[in-house]
Amino acid sequence: VHGAKCLAVLAGSSMPGAASGVAVGAVVAPKRHLQTVIKALDERQWRKKRTKVHEYDCEHLAVAVAPEGARALDAFGSDAESLVPAPLAALLRDGAVRWATGHRHVSAAAAPSPAAAAAAAASPAPPPRFRYAELFAGVGGFRLALDGLGGRCVFASEIDPCAAATYERNFGDAPLGDITEVPDEALPAHDLLTAGFPCQSFSRSGEQRGLGDARGDLFFEIVRVASRCRPAALLLENVPNLLRVDNGHALHIIVHALARAGYHCRLQLANAAALVPQHRERLYLAAFRDAAAAAAFRWPSLPAARGAAHRALGSGTVGVGYHGTPPGTLPPQYRTLGELLEPLADEERSRYELSETQWRQVRSSLEWRTNPQWRLPPLGGGPRPP
C-alpha cells in the first residue's frame, strides 16, 4: 500500500531528472541512531540490503536507500512526508540524522582476477577497435560478441551474485554490483554502451507496471551513464512486450529520454530462432549521437527460422552424429546440440545415460505429455521428440 501510494504521489518524478539516473541516497546517522534508522527503513523495505552500512565521515555512518524510499525522502517536507516512517521522520525533523540525496557508494572497482591479470601481463592485448561498457551484464552475452569484433570491455555491472560469478568465470573480470551505487566519477570513457535492462516489469508474465516498477525504473541508470560518458552508440535489449506496456507510453518515455540525452534511436524486433534452439524474440534499440550514423545504420537480416537445414536434420537426410559432423557440412548457426556441448569420454558419458526402462518412464510421465518445451532435443539435431 505504501509503495503504491509513494509511486502515485511522486508520479512523473523520474523523467525530469533522467540524466541523473534513478533516485538514490543514504540516511546519514551517528552510531547511536543506527538501529532506529535501519528498523524504520526495513519497515518499508527501503533499505538496500546488498549495500553494506558504510562510513560517511569520522562521526557518521550511511545507510543506502532503495529508489522508492529515496523518492519519498527527496520529497520529505511536502505531500510525501506521511510516507516516511514516523521514527525516521522524527529524527529527520530534529536534525539527529539527515538525508544525503544522490549519495552513491561502491566498495571496490571491478578488477580482473589474478589469473587473468597475470595472463594479460604475459601477453599484452593489441589496441582495441573500440571500448565498451555493459550494464545489467548478466553472464556476458554482449561481451562474447563484442570481444569477437575487437572490442574491449572497460566496465561491467551486474547485481545478481550468481550471474556475476559466472561472468567472472567466463571472462576473468569481476563486474561491479549495483549500478545505482556506482558514482559518476567511477564510470570510464567508452565508445559503446550495452544493456539488457531488467525486463520483469515489461514482460507479459509479470504485472506490466513498466517504468513505475522499481526494476523498470532502472532504465534511467542507462540514461545517467550515457549522459555522463557520452558514448557514440548504445545497444539495448528487452522483451517484445515493451512495445505494448502502458499502451506504448513506457517505450515513448524511453525513446524521449534518450533523445533528450542526445541520441537518435532505431528499434527492431528480432527473433534468434535461426541461431539458437529456441524461439527468442527480443526488442533491440540502437541509439547514435550522430544523426548521420543513425540514418545509415541497417539492422542485420536474420532468417525467420532454422529453415531447410533444420528440416533436413529432422528428416535424417543430413548425417550428423555426436561431435561427428564433418567440418563445413552445415553453417555455424546450424550446429547441433551435441556440437555445442563439451565432449565427454565414453565411460564418463555412460554415467548420465538413461536405461531403456528409465527412458520409457520419462516418456510416460505427465510432465513429458503436457510440457513439450521440457523435452530435450536430440544431440544429433532435429526436432524434439513427440
Average predicted confidence (pLDDT) for the chain:
80
- Which residue shows C-alpha cell 543430413? 318
Q: Tell me how far apart the alpha carbons of residues 270 and 116 are, in angstroms, rounded to a whole number.
A: 34
> Catalytic site residues?
199
| pLDDT 10s digits, 353-363 | 888 888 888 88
Phi and psi at residue 234, to the nearest 5°: -125, 145
State mean pLDDT over 68-82.
78
Contact criterion met (CB below 8 Å) for 141 and 196: yes
The grid coordinates of residue 156 equal 561491467
pLDDT band at 342 (very low <50, low <70, confident <90, very high): confident
Q: Tell me how far apart the alpha carbons of residues 271 and 307 are, in angstroms, rounded to a whole number.
A: 13
Question: What's the pTM?
Answer: 0.72
pLDDT band at 371 (very low <50, low <70, confident <90, very high): confident
Q: Is 265 exposed, middle or buried (0-12, 13-18, 19+ CB in 10 A)?
A: middle
Phi and psi at residue 17, to the nearest 5°: -110, 30
| pLDDT 10s digits, 226-259 | 999 999 999 999 999 888 888 888 899 999 999 9
Contact criterion met (CB below 8 Å) for 172 and 208: no
| pLDDT 10s digits, 158-213 | 999 999 999 999 998 889 888 988 888 889 999 999 999 888 888 877 778 887 77
The grid coordinates of residue 316 equal 535424417
Q: Is 323 exposed, middle or buried (0-12, 13-18, 19+ CB in 10 A)?
A: middle
